[in-house]
Amino acid sequence: MRKKRTLCVLGFFFIFSVMSLFGVDTNTSSPKINMTPELKKEFPIKAHHEKLSLSCTDCHEGQGDDPKDLKLIGDKGCLSCHKTKQFLADRLKFMDALHTNPHNSIHDGPKLYCDECHNEHKPSENMCLSCHSNDVKIWMRPTP
Residue ranges binding other proteins (CB under 8 A): 51-54, 58, 80-81, 90-94, 97-98, 100, 138-140
Work out how close the CB of 83 gets to other proteins at its nearest, in angstroms, rounded to a whole number: 9
Q: Which is nearer to other proteins, 11 or 144 (CB)?
A: 144
Q: Which is nearer to other proteins, 21 or 98 (CB)?
A: 98
Q: Which is nearer to other proteins, 40 or 93 (CB)?
A: 93
Q: Which is nearer to other proteins, 19 or 81 (CB)?
A: 81
Work out how close the CB of 85 gets to other proteins at its nearest, in angstroms, rounded to a whole number: 16
Residues 70 and 60 sit within 8 Å (Cβ to Cβ): yes
State the burial class of residue 31 (Cβ atoms within 10 Å of its Cβ: 0-12, 13-18, 19+). Answer: middle
Nearest to 115 by CA among 80, 70, 77, 81: 77
| 58 sits in which H/E element | helix 56-59
State the burial class of residue 26 (Cβ atoms within 10 Å of its Cβ: 0-12, 13-18, 19+). Answer: exposed
Work out how close the CB of 6 gets to other proteins at its nearest, in angstroms, rounded to a whole number: 44
Distance in angstroms (rounded) separating the CA atoms of residues 4 and 85? 63
Beta bridge partners of 105: 109
